[in-house]
Structure 1
Amino acid sequence: MSKRRVGRLLVTLGVISTLLVGMTACSGSKEEGKAATDTDGSFNKTGLPIVKEPITLNVLTVRWGNMGDTFTKNTWLQNLEKDTNIKINWQVMSSNDWAEQKSIMLASGTLPDVVLGDIAFSDSDIVNNISSFRPLDDYIDQYMPNLKAAMKESPELKKLSTFPDGKMYSLPARLPSRPVTQNEPVINKAWLDKLGLKVPETLDDLYNVLKAFKENDPNGNGKKDEIPYSGSGDISMDLLNPFGITDLNATSMMIKDGKPVYYPTSNEYKEAIKWAHKLFSEGLIDQELFTQDNTMLTAKQQNPDVALVGFTHQWTPDAVFGKWKDQYETIPTISGPDGKRYQVGDPNGLSYRRNELLITTSCKNPEVVARWADQFYTNEASIQNFWGAIDTVIKKNDDGTYTLMNPPAGTSADAWYWDSSLRDFGPKYVSPSFEKNIVLDPANGDGLKLEIDKLGKDYVTTPFPNVMYTAEEFQELPTLTTDIDTYVRTNRAQWITKGGIDEQWDAYVKKLNEMGLDKLVKIRTDAYDRYNNVK
């Protein structure tokens, strides 16, 4: 092992050792050292404070990159400590080195009282270490009336969070004011206007527009350097949407006529690939689509001299184009050969999450944590844990509405929200009926996405859901998906760039079957059936 790797391992072990010492010192204990339980009279089953004498809970959360712990200054979180008598010892980890730290932590078997945020532990982490986490159903039933009411109003919360053994080991979330569409078509409107073209609505329209972009120098620099369509290899999947191919959760599964279907062997997929090859062969698709990395793509999108890209799919049009962002507009979903429009997304909204809070078996006071976590499941608590505290980031108006304040000069709204709140992570629930009280700026950030969401929301397909797998299925899946997914991606890239799908199709399907496709589809389908059978 190299000196560098030894050094990194020692640093990681040092961090974990520090965490474990902290956990041992104060896990679920009163500051005087005695555990607060229902039997010693300190725990209140209802009302506040939750415990009569202050205790400390260790709560671990993971943040993106170097975000740090500024969210802990959130006034709502600070007031919660005072109101509940529960002090939180926040253990904030960076996603940059979390994978290594996580492995050591799970191997040690010593965990904090609470793990907050779905970035920390995946489904497989939980299922394969199930003895480290408490089933939460009884605690929800006895101590979490806010979450119970939310699950009654939105059954998706329970369906999403029920593990294969029928129990809930993690708490869910429903984020506020989320769209139902994912990436939507984005076009260079300045180029359209210069060439006197209309916004494309059909595949034929799109073909003609891309061809005009290639041949008529719409960026005006006298060179044929325009790239009619560009993206990454994965984003290229959005090109197939008009053929009914949508894949929100990247499983290669879609729901057709109410049943799960493996689409890379479907006729729709075959026809979509043939259409994409036609575009590629005529130079209407970036010739480096399958070989460029994000750095190369960004260089094209933000080329300093002129705009280079004509059409793509994005979350919002201002997301990636730098100084050229004002040239781009989101447009309605393109219709396919059957005259219908198919948009990637989720009719329930891209708002539901699981694994947002886990109570470990190291925690001596799970009932205390359950009551503490339930405080997060009110509308006002949730918006303050998604954007920031009232009177800091959010203004509560006399008419019962809520508006977001402007961020400090030089700070983007999204960065401000992440600094000021738990944002995407942690338990929360905003009722659909409450969302009408949230007033967002339609020109920026979350409000902009909701505004352009209107262009595609009526065409969103029902996705293959974010299902849960058993420990045995998790053992089989990596072997199956590594081989099968690689084979599918390799052939897709070859067929789009070089053609030949008709001649090679039967051999391709035969090879997939030999690689265990039937077993993969059965695992996915069994998980789908379990998901739909949750009551």
Structure 2
Amino acid sequence: MKRQSGLNSFKKWAALLLAAALVFGLAGCGGGKAENTAKSGTGDFNKEGLPIVSEPVTLKVLTMRWGNMGDTFTQNQWLKDLEQQTKVKIEWEVVSSNDWGEQKSIMLASGTLPDIILGNQTFTDSDIVNNLSYFRPLDDYIDQYMPNLKAAMEETPELKKISTFPDGKIYSLPARLPSRPKTRNQPVINKAWLDQLGLEVPDNTEELYNVLKAFKEQDPNGNGKQDEIPYTETGLSPDFLNPFGITDTYGNSMMVKDGKPVFYPTSEEYKEGLKYANKLYSEGLIDKEMFTQDATMTSAKQQNADVPIVGFTNQWTPDAVFGKWSGEYAAIPPIAGPDGNRYNPGDPNGMSFNRNEMLITTSCKYPEIAARWADQFYTNEASIQNFWGAIGTVIQKNDDGTYTLMDPPAGTSADAWYWDQSLRDFGPKYVSPTFEKNIVLNPEAGDGLKLEIDKLGNEYVTTPFPNVMYTSEEFQELPTLTTDIDSYVATMRAQWVTKGGIDESWDEYVKQLNDMGLEKLLKIRTDAYNRYMSVK
């Protein structure tokens, strides 16, 4: 016991030393230059126009990037020009997702933060709600110092709805990304196989069954083997149940039906969808390894070296998953269900809204300066340059008022280039819906291709259960409820698809979910939904 106690003591001291080092590194929030030159609230701070301050000020901005992406985005010409125009110098701290989990815990434990946290991937809803004292309410700053964002919120009320916390205040700034689709995933099928077998694109669930059966039995890849996998995913994707009215945009087993939140794994539509899946599975039309394989195994099948072996799936775009075989695959309209209707997951407002894209911390000594700096991001030109790259580098501004994306350098994909040149998905931005007609995208690749595919299903997009916000107390209860309930739902889904028997065990399944606290989970989600809908 003493040895264990000593080990625990050592761990505590190590954590304290790490925290102390972090505190030292972040001490003097904004840096010495800001302390010596900024006089926010006096003549040195300009409430309107540029520069924001008469003498240079330094603000520390922390953001997290995926893996080894690095910090090349900080050389975005628009960001460099902004520094000259505003006299606000940014000292970037760019951390990798590989290390961020531990660093974030130390930072929140120490309570010493940089001036600004940027990007919704850096701090989650839970991180913020459980540490509200570290972050400034921004309502007054928006009203007094952020005319661009204020105008955007008036034009697009969704920005305010997603940004309002349970206490009615705004602590983080939102984004509306440009040229985003309304649909999430679309059905994708091997069109070359259809042509090889003389088959039409399936229109409904019965036709889909017949096509998958032909894929299984008639050797469409022509290698003389029965190695075709008509349908595969990592687990049964909720998208496979779309024809039955199941549309799960945010992956939380929730939908909105007749204006009310619904936990769809207890619905009749879900039950009928699983019966259909079981029929396909029992005939070998669904991958036998689907419930045991991981994403790497799924990808290996989608990009099989010798010949394509996957027939059907649901994806963002075909080129996102099928590698060298992408040219054989095509997105198709949503499959009609037994009721004759089509349903597509997504958002009628567009898959474009995020919150938590910027937080101004209570450590920041010059929040007015930070707010005015952030507001510069909320113009159309600023936003497209922070989503794709700077004008003159990635974007060409044309004489007719349109903006064309240039081709990426040889050997680089468009998406990789955009991440290298810009904040991309992260950070504050707003592109007005009326401005988007001025953006010229390549319809055969990347974002432009997705907008073309979007046309196949956007009229069938259902209203999703929104990206709601929870209170600190709700965040404490949710993990226990969702861990047990989601695990049980997944277990039973796999059992019913692979072995059948859903009618015989359905009532016991619903009873078990209720015993696990489904009613409490629904109340939490419904309360959060009602708060969200009440924001005007």
Which residue in 1 is equivalent to 2:398?
397
> Following the alignment from structure 2 to structure 1, what is the Cα–Cα distance between the partners of residues 141 and 241?
45
Deviations 1:24-74 (A, max 9, x none): 145265456254210x32111001110111010000000111111000110
Equivalent position SS for 1:41 = coil
Q: Which residue of 1 aligns with 2:49?
A: 47
Q: Deviation per CA, 1:126-176, whole angstroms, max 9, x where unpaired?
A: 000010000000000000000000000100000001000000000000000
Q: Counterpart of 2:254 in structure 1: which amino acid?
A: M
Instruction: Tell me if structure 2 keeps the 8 A contact 1:29–1:57.
Output: no
Distance 2:239 2:14 in 1: 42
Who is 2:229 aligned against? Answer: 227
Q: Say if 1:26 and 1:128 are closer, same or farther in 2 by CA, change over 3 A.
A: closer
Question: How does 1:89-128 map onto structure 2 within 5 Å?
Answer: 89-128=91-130
Residue in structure 2 matched with residue 462 of structure 1 by the alignment:
463
Alpha-carbon distance, 1:21 to partner: 2.9
Listed as ranges, the matches of 1:185-200 within 5 Å are: 185-200=187-202
The answer for the alignment partner of 2:26 in structure 1 is 23
**Cα RMSD, aligned residues only:** 1.9
Distance 2:269 2:256 in 1: 13
Q: CA deviation at 1:232?
A: 1.1
Change beyond 3 A, Cα 1:27–1:313: same
| In 2: Cα distance, 1:31 partner to 1:297 partner | 51
Worse-matched range after superposition: 298-307 or 210-219:
298-307
Per-residue deviation, residues 324-355 of structure 1 (Å, max 9, x unmatched): 11100000000001100000111110000000
Residue of structure 2 equivalent to 1:338: 339
- Output the CA distance in 2 between the equivalents of 1:249 and 1:305: 35
Measured in 1, the distance between the counterparts of 2:58 and 2:109 equals 25
- Deviations for 1:493-534, whole angstroms, at most 9, x for unmatched residues? 100011110000000011111111100000000000000000
Q: CA 1:330–1:7 in structure 2 vs 1: closer, same or farther (change >3 Å)?
A: farther
- What's the offset of the Cα at 1:20? 3.4
Q: Describe the SS at the equivalent of 1:206.
A: helix
The answer on whether the counterparts of 1:29 and 1:36 sit within 8 Å (CA) in structure 2 is no
Task: Judge conservation of contact 1:191–1:213 (CA < 8 Å) in 2.
Answer: yes
- Structure 1 residue 22: Cα displacement: 3.8
TM-score, structure 1 length as denominator?
Answer: 0.96
- Match in the other structure for 1:411: 412
Amino acid at match of 2:61: V
Q: Percent identity?
A: 74
2-structure distance, mates of 1:6, 1:418: 43
Secondary structure at 1:456's aligned position in 2? Answer: helix
- Of 61, 71, 74, 2:73 maps to 71
Looking at structure 1, the residues matched to 111 and 28 of structure 2 have their Cα atoms a distance apart, in angstroms, of 16
- 8 Å CA contact retained: 1:36, 1:43: yes
Given the alignment of the two structures, is residue 270 of structure 1 paired with residue 256 of structure 2, yes or no? Answer: no
The equivalent of 2:253 in structure 1 is: 252
Matched AA of 1:103 = S
Shift in CA distance, 80/232, structure 1 to aligned 2, threshold 3 Å: same
Q: Is the 8 A contact 1:171 1:355 kept in 2?
A: yes
TM-score (normalised: structure 2): 0.96
Q: Is the 8 A contact 2:18 2:106 kept in 1?
A: no
Distance in 2 between the 1:68 and 1:345 partners? 31
List per-residue Cα deviations over 1:257-291 (Å, max 9, x = no partner).
Answer: 11111111111111111111000000000111110
Q: 1:15 to 1:411 in 2, by over 3 A?
A: farther
- Which residue number in structure 1 is paired with residue 64 of structure 2? 62
Amino acid in structure 1 at the alignment position of 2:433: P
Distance across 2 between alignment mates of 1:65 and 1:11? 26
CA distance in 1, matches of 2:35, 2:507: 72
Give the deviation of 1:14 after TM superposition. 8.3
CA contact (8 A) 1:114 1:357 kept: yes
State how far apart, in whole Å, the 1-side matches of 2:11 and 2:446 are.
38
Please say if residues 28 and 363 of structure 1, whose CA atoms lie closer than 8 Å, have aligned partners that are also in contact.
Answer: no
Name stretches of at least 5 consecutive residues in structure 2 with no aligned partner.
none
- In the aligned structure 2, how far is the partner of 1:310 from the partner of 1:10? 56
Q: 1 CA distance for matches of 2:25 and 2:396?
A: 37
Distance 1:295 1:417 in 2: 25
How far has the Cα of 1:16 moved from its partner? 6.4
Distance change in 2, residues 1:408/1:14 (3 Å): farther
Instruction: Report what 2:424 is aligned to.
Output: 423
Does the CA contact (< 8 Å) of 2:29 and 2:363 recur in 1?
A: no
Give the AA of the match of 1:502: D
2:532 aligned partner: 531
Partner of 1:293: 294
Contact 1:143 1:371 in 2 (8 A): yes
Distance in structure 2 (CA, Å) of the matches to 1:325 and 1:139: 48
Q: In structure 2, how many angstroms separate the alpha carbons of the residues matched to 1:207 and 1:13?
A: 60
Partner Cα separation in structure 2 for residue 88 and residue 476 of structure 1? 39
Structure 1 match to 2:349: 348
* Partner-residue secondary structure (3-state), 1:454: helix
Q: 8 Å contact 2:213–2:285 — kept in the other structure? A: yes
- Tell me how far 1:12 sits from its aligned partner: 9.3
Matched to 2:510, the amino acid is: V
SS of the residue 2:456 aligns to: coil
> Aligned equivalents of 1:314 and 1:459: distance in 2?
16
Q: Which runs of 5+ in 1 are unaligned?
A: none
The alpha-carbon deviation at position 294 of structure 1 amounts to 1.3
Report the alpha carbon displacement of residue 446 of structure 1 after superposing the two structures with TM.
Answer: 0.4
